[in-house]
Amino acid sequence: MASHYLSVEQVDMTFVTKGATTNVLKEIDLGVAKGEYISIIGHSGCGKSTLLNIIAGLTSSTSGAVILDGKEVNAPGPDRSVVFQNHSLLPWLTVYENVALAVNKTFARSKTKAERHAWILKNLEMVGMSHALNKRPSEISGGMKQRVGIARALAMEPKVLLLDEPFGALDALTRAHLQEEVMRIQDELGNTVIMITHDVDEAVLLSDRIVMLTNGPSARIGEILEIDLPRPRNRITLADDPRYNRYRQEVLRFLYEKQRKVEHLAERREKTAGAAPAKKARA
Amino acid sequence: MTTSTRTETLAKPVLGTHPLVTRLRDTLVKNILPPVVILAILIGIWEALCSSPGAALPAPSQVLSDTWELIVNPFYDYGGNDKGMGWQVLASLERVAYGYLLAVVAGISLGVLVGQSTWALRGLDPVFQVLRTVPPLAWLPISLAGFQDSNPSAIFVIFITAIWPIIINTSVGVRNIPEDYRNVSRVIRLNGMEYFTRIMLPAAAPYIFSGLRIGVGLSWLAIVAAEMLIGGVGIGFFIWDAWNASMLSDIVLALIYVGIVGFILDRIVAFIGNRVTRGTTQS
C-alpha cells in the first residue's frame, strides 16, 4: 500500500444524527498511482461524495486514513483541489479574480506578482476562457462556469485533482465537450484525477480504472474495473470498439443487476434517513 | 426596462424623430406622468376639503403663502433656534449620521458574531429579541439620565433603534453563506481575516444592506420623535415649536421635508447597496 501515490486506507464513515447512527462508508481501501485517472461510480446516496470529501479533507473520516505522497491528509488544502458539482465560483468576483484568489493565496511566496498573473492567464487559456476574463459568473453559461472551476482547481497545481460530478449539471453536448477538454488537459499535464460520477459512458471514456461502490448504508468498494483502452480516446471510434462496449456492460451489470436499487417501502424510509446527513455534508 | 423600451422603439419607428427624444418621451410618459397626476389629484382633494372658511387645517394654497419665506430662504440664521429649514434638517441629519454609523459598525460586528458562533446566537438572541421590541422613545429617559445631555441621548436613541435590524440581517446573511463558499475557502486555505473580507462580507452583503436600509428608515423615524422631546435645533423640535405657536402651515412644510429627506436617505443606502452587491445575487 505504501508504494501508492495516494492511498485510502480502511476508511470508515459514520454519521450521528439525533441519536441514530448511519454507517455510510465501510472499510474503503484504494491505492492510486501518480497520473492515474480514477472514477468512482455508484447509485446516488451511496456515499461517493462523502468519500471524495474525505480525500479532500473537507470531512474527517470516523476511522482510517488518507495518505498522499507520504503524508496523512487531515485538512483541506490546495494539493487536493476540488472542482465542485455546481462550480462554486464566487459570484461577486470576475472570472479572472476567481482564479486569482486561489493562485495568489497558493503561490503567495513561491511566485512573483507577474508570474502569478501569467499563471492565471495560462490556466484560463487552457480551458478556453481567455475571452471572458472580466465577466462575472452570472454573465457566462453553466459550461463556462465549470471551465473556470476547472481552471481554478488546476491553477493550484494539485497533487490530486478531485472532480465531484463536474459535468452533472450540464446539458449533454456541453458535457461531451468538457469531457474532451478534461481528457486533453490530463494528457498534457499528467494529473492524478479522482472523479465522482454516475454516468457510465463518462466513467469508461475518461478513466484508467473505475471504482464501483455498493449501495449504502455501509457502502464498500464492490469491484474495480481496469479500462485498458489506448489514449487519446475518441468517443466516436470507441462506440464501435468491442472492448469499450464490454467495459460499459460490466459497469452497467454491476449497477443494475448486482447493485440494483431495491425499493421496498421500509428500506426506502431507512435510506432517506441515512441519505439525509450525507446530503447535508455535500450541500 | 431597457429591453422593453428597445422593443417598443423597434416596433414603431417614428420617422423624423431622434431615437433619444423618443426614449426620453417614453420614460417621461411611463415614469414621471403617473405620480404627477396622482399628486395633482391629491392636492386638489386637499384644497377642496380645506378651503372652506372654518376648516381646521390649512389648504395647500394657504400653506404655500404662509411658508413662502421658509421655502425660498432655507438657510437663514437669526440666532438661537430661529434657523432656516435647511439648518434644521442638517442638524437632525448630523445626529442621525452619528447614531446610524455607530449602529452600522456595532450592528455588523455583533451580527457576524451571532452568525458565526452558535453559542453567541443562543446567548445573545433572546436578549436581542426582547430589546428590539422596546420603542425608540422608551430609551430616551434612561439615556438622558445616563448621558446628562440631550445631544448624546438623541444619538443613542438613533443608535439603539437602528442597530437591531442590522444585527439580525447580518447574522442571517452570515448563517446563510453557502457551504460551497466555505469549502472553496478551506481548499484555498484562506485564513480567518481573508475569509472575513473575501468571502463572508461579500456573501452576506445583500442581507447586510437590507438591514442597513431598514435601519436608516427607523433612524429617521426616531429622530423626529426624539427631537420633539430634547429640543434645540432640529426638524423634530421645529415641528413641536410650530405646533406650540399654532403655525400649522409650518408643520405641513416640515412634514414634506421629513418625507423627502427620509426618501433620499433610503435611496442613498439602496444605491450603495446595489453598487456593492452587484453580482452577489446567486448566479
Write the pLDDT tens digit of every residue in A181-202: 899 989 888 889 999 998 999 9
Look up the pTM and report it.
0.77
Residue from A172, A243, A180 nearest A206 by CA: A180
Q: Give percent of chain A above pLDDT 70.
A: 91
- Residues A67 and A7: beta-carbon distance below 8 Å: yes
- Distance from A189 to chain B by nearest Cα, in Å? 21
3-state secondary structure A187-212: HHHCCEEEEEECCHHHHHHHCCEEEE
Q: What integer pLDDT is reported at residue B121 of this predicted model? A: 92
Which positions ≥6 away from A160 have C-beta within 8 Å? A5, A6, A32, A55, A68, A79, A80, A191, A192, A193, A194
Residues of A in contact with B197 (CB under 8 A): none
What is the pLDDT averaged over residues B36-64? 89
Top residue of B275, B276, B280, B283 to mutate, by most chain A CBs within 10 Å, is B283
A158-162, A259-263, B42-46, range with the lowest pLDDT: A259-263
pLDDT band at B17; cut points 50, 70, 90: low
Q: What is the mean pLDDT of residues A63-75?
A: 90
Residue B77: alpha-carbon gap to chain centroid:
27
Strand partners, A283: none
CA–CA dist A243, A227 (Å, integer): 9
- Tell me, what's the pLDDT at B38? 94
Q: What pLDDT, in 10s, does the model give residues A79-89?
A: 999 998 888 89
Compare CB distances from B283 to A102, A106, A137 and report the shortest one's residue. A137
Q: For chain A, what is the mean pLDDT?
A: 86
pLDDT at B80: 77
User: What is the per-residue pLDDT across B170-184, written as a single tens digit (0 to 9) for each?
Assistant: 999 999 999 999 999
Q: Does B186 touch chain A (CB under 8 A)?
A: yes
Which candidate, A120, A161, A168, places its Cα nearest to that of A142? Answer: A168
Model confidence at A271: pLDDT above 60: no
CB pairs under 8 A between A and B: 67
pLDDT value, residue A36: 93
Residue A64: pLDDT above 80? yes
Distance from CA of B188 to the nearest CA of A (A): 6
Residues near B60 by Cβ (< 8 Å), separated by ≥ 6? Answer: B43, B46, B47, B50
Nearest in space to A79 (alpha carbons), one of A87, A70, A88, A68: A68
Answer whether residue B263 shows pLDDT above 80: yes
The three-class DSSP label of residue B279 is coil
pLDDT confidence of B16, banded at 50, 70, 90? low
Q: What is the pLDDT of residues B142-164, one digit of tens each?
A: 999 999 998 999 999 999 999 99
Residue B214, pLDDT above cutoff 90: yes
Tell me which residue in A58, A77, A91 faces B279 most closely, judged by beta carbons.
A91
- The average pLDDT across A125-152 equals 91
Averaged pLDDT, A238-250: 91
| Rounded Cα gap, residues B60 and B46, in angstroms | 7
**Closest CA in chain A for residue B198:** A101
In percent, the amount of chain B with pLDDT more than 90 equals 59
How confident is the model over A261-277, as a mean pLDDT?
51
Q: How far apart are the first and last CA of chain A?
A: 32
Q: Residue A133 — pLDDT band, cuts 50, 70, 90?
A: very high
Rounded percentage of chain B residues whose pLDDT exceeds 70: 92
The confidence score (pLDDT) of residue A83 equals 92
pLDDT digits (tens, 9 = 90+) for B79-105: 777 888 889 999 999 999 999 999 999
Query: Is the model's pLDDT at B215 over the cut of 60?
Result: yes
* Predicted local distance difference test score (pLDDT) of residue A279: 40
The alpha-carbon gap from B183 to the nearest alpha carbon of chain A, in Å, equals 7
Task: Please tell me the predicted confidence (pLDDT) of residue A21.
Answer: 86
Decide if pLDDT at B2 tops 50. Answer: no
Any chain B CB within 8 A of the CB of A142?
no
Q: Identify whether the C-beta of residue B152 lies closer than 8 Å to the C-beta of residue B145.
A: no
Which pLDDT belongs to residue B55?
A: 82
Pairing of strands A37-41, A192-197: parallel
Q: What is the pLDDT of residue A262?
A: 59
Residue A37 dihedral angles phi and psi, to the nearest 5°: -110, 110
Selecting from A58, A91, A283 the residue whose C-beta is nearest the C-beta of B186 gives: A58
CATH number, domain B68-277, options 3.40.50.1000, 3.30.70.20, 1.10.3720.10, 3.65.10.10: 1.10.3720.10
Of the candidates A102, A138, A283, which has its C-beta nearest B188's C-beta?
A: A102
Is A58 touching B (CB cutoff 8 A)?
A: yes
Per domain, the residue ranges of chain B are 3-56, 68-277
Task: Please enumerate in sequence order all residues whose Cβ is within 8 A of that of B269, keeping only pairs 6 or more positions apart, or say none.
Answer: B209, B212, B213, B216
pLDDT confidence of residue B75:
84
For residue A160, which phi and psi values (nearest 5 degrees)?
-130, 130
Lowest mean pLDDT among B67-71, B92-96, B240-244: B67-71
pLDDT at A277: 45
Helix axes A142-155, A95-106, angle to 10 degrees: 20
Give phi and psi for A193, each to the nearest 5. -130, 135
Q: Is the pLDDT of residue B3 over 50?
A: no
pLDDT level of residue B166 (50, 70, 90 thresholds): very high
More confident residue, A143 or A276: A143
